[in-house]
C-alpha cells in the first residue's frame, strides 16, 4: 500500500476550492497496481482520518497489507496496525529524500539527488549497497 496526496480543485457551494485528495494505491503480489481508495482532506489529515479510510478498505474486502509505504504522520502507524496488525511500515522514499535534503546545501541538492537515485533505483540489494557506499564516500564529509 502506498499513500500519496495530490492537490485538486473542487466546486463546493458555488466556489472552487483547492484541497488535498489522498490516494491509496496497492500493488499485489503479481505486480498489478490498483487504486483502493481515496479521501478528500479538509485540513483534517490525521490518525482519525486514516483510521476511517482504512476501515472503509476493510469493509470493501481488503484483508491484509504486507507493506505500507507512508509519510511520517503522527499516529499513521497506529491507525494502520489497528486494522492490519501484521503490516510492515516504511517511510516513503520521497519523504525520506525531502527529509534528508535539509542537511544538503541548496547548491548540491540536484547532484545529491542524482547520486541517491543510484541507490533506490538499483536492481539488486548488492547493487544498492555498492551505490550507497559510493554516495557515502562522496557526500559523507559534507
Q: For the chain, give the percent of residues with pLDDT over 90.
A: 39
Domain ranges of the chain: 2-91, 94-139
13-27 pLDDT, tens digit per residue, is 888 888 888 888 898
Q: Which of 69, 70, 71, 66 is nearest to 87 (CA)?
A: 66
133-142 pLDDT, tens digit per residue, is 999 999 988 8
78-121 pLDDT, tens digit per residue, is 889 988 999 999 988 888 888 889 999 999 999 999 999 999 99
Nine-digit cell at 62?
Answer: 481488503
Amino acid at each position: 500500500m502506498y499513500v500519496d496526496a495530490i492537490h485538486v480543485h473542487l466546486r463546493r457551494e458555488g466556489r472552487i476550492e483547492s484541497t488535498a485528495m489522498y490516494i491509496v494505491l496497492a500493488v499485489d503480489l503479481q505486480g498489478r497496481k490498483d487504486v483502493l481508495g481515496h479521501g478528500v482532506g479538509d485540513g483534517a489529515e490525521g490518525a482519525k482520518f486514516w483510521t476511517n479510510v482504512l476501515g472503509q478498505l476493510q469493509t470493501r474486502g481488503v484483508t491484509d497489507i504486507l507493506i505500507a509505504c507512508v509519510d511520517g504522520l503522527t499516529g499513521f502507524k497506529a491507525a494502520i496496525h489497528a486494522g492490519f496488525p501484521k503490516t510492515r511500515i516504511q517511510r516513503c522514499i520521497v519523504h525520506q529524500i525531502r527529509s534528508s535534503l535539509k542537511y544538503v546545501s541548496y547548491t548540491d541538492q540536484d547532484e545529491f539527488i542524482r547520486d541517491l537515485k543510484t541507490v533506490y533505483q538499483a536492481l539488486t540489494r548488492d547493487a544498492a549497497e555498492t551505490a550507497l557506499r559510493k554516495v557515502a564516500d562522496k557526500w559523507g564529509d559534507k
